[in-house]
Amino acid sequence: MALRQWIDGDESAAEMLTRVLKERTSLLVPPLHRVPLHVGNVVELVGPSGSAKTQILIQAAVNCILPKEWNGIRYGGLECSVVFIDLDCRLDISRLSQVLKLRILEGNGNGDWGNFDALYTTCLRRFFYIRCYDSFEFLATLKTMHHKLQKERDDLGIGLRLLMIDSIGAYHWVDRVSSSLPLWGYNRKGFSLANMLEAAVEEIKKLLLVHPSIVIASKATIFGDRSSDIVRREKSSSETESRHGKSDGGQVLYREYMPSAWQSFVTHRVFVRGSDEYLTVSSCEHQSIYFSEWLLPSLGVLDKFIVKNAGIFMVP
């Protein structure tokens, strides 16, 4: 709604609801289902390796690229585009394909897959996968993404809804070591870890102005004991520490290592981790149980979920 329209006249309740519902994205993916997310939100999915962070991203992506309805069958998707920027180059595309196919078959009552090749292809056209191998490629990708997204929006008639980054801290240690390397030219801004993340954040902000969407970024944790000299040294260099409650009432300490430019950019944070618990599906099948908890905003609720072939499911 243009500024002049807002000044010149009031907005009716019906018009307001229509506008808000269009701007709200309902991902309905555990653990993201707990908090309504809106365009412009930046969600950080933080947890150790093997905590199903990428699986959550895949499930959210499938929900986004699926249509609301296709040939009279309701799939409940958002029918929008997804950009997946893979910074550690470990995404298994076949896993995305598997979840998408099973969701389509599930919507069709597990009918004949051959009749839905067109739907499968249409959904994949909405998924843009980009691999980056260092911070410079990441920045170059962000700077050039607008023109590609604009072209796709003109061709397909749909806009970007999810910008995914897996994993945002992939180059942290490499950039820290490289921060002392000289650059050509005396007028260029010095290379540093903070400068690279600050530039990336600014590019994402510019992108969101033209292509309003939700940003979901996974981030690996660094754990440590408070009594450790390494933890004290990292803390003294402006790296903060955060606590996460375990289901047994204990406390797991992990360190925040991202620069302040990124930390202040994040609007929501979810902690995920694996566990030693299993869900018995059958006499010969056991599913690992994962835990998730919202830290920003703090909800004080510990969710349990499992990862199956068809996606992520909550555990009572």
Per-residue pLDDT band at 15 (split at 50, 70, 90):
low
State the fold for domain 38-315.
Answer: Rossmann fold (3.40.50)
At residue 253, the pLDDT reads 58
Longest dimension (CA), the chain: 68
Higher pLDDT, 3 or 179: 179
At residue 65, the pLDDT reads 95
% of residues, the chain, pLDDT over 70: 75
At residue 190, the pLDDT reads 53
> Which of these ranges, 8-22, 124-138, 268-282, has the smallest mean pLDDT?
8-22
* Helix segments in the chain, DSSP class H: 3-8, 13-23, 53-65, 93-107, 117-125, 135-156, 172-178, 193-210, 229-236, 260-263
β-strands 37-38, 24-25 pairing: antiparallel
Check pLDDT > 50 for residue 28.
yes
Nearest Cα residue to 67 out of 23, 112, 19, 103 = 103
At residue 271, the pLDDT reads 94
Contacts of 247 (CB under 8 A, 6+ apart): 275, 291, 302
Check pLDDT > 50 for residue 236.
no
At residue 239, the pLDDT reads 40
Note the pLDDT tens digit of each residue in 150-171: 888 887 778 899 999 999 999 8
Structure tokens at 134: 């260092």
Note the pLDDT tens digit of each residue in 280-306: 877 777 899 999 999 999 998 899 999
Domain parsing of the chain, residue ranges:
38-315
At residue 179, the pLDDT reads 59
Q: Specify whether the CB–CB gap between 167 and 91 falls below 8 A.
A: no
Instruction: Give the C-alpha separation, 222 to 191, whole Å.
Output: 24
Note the pLDDT tens digit of each residue in 41-62: 999 999 999 999 999 999 999 9
Distances (CA, A) of 123 to 47, 83, 238: 29, 13, 44
> Which of these ranges, 49-53, 110-114, 170-174, has the smallest mean pLDDT?
110-114
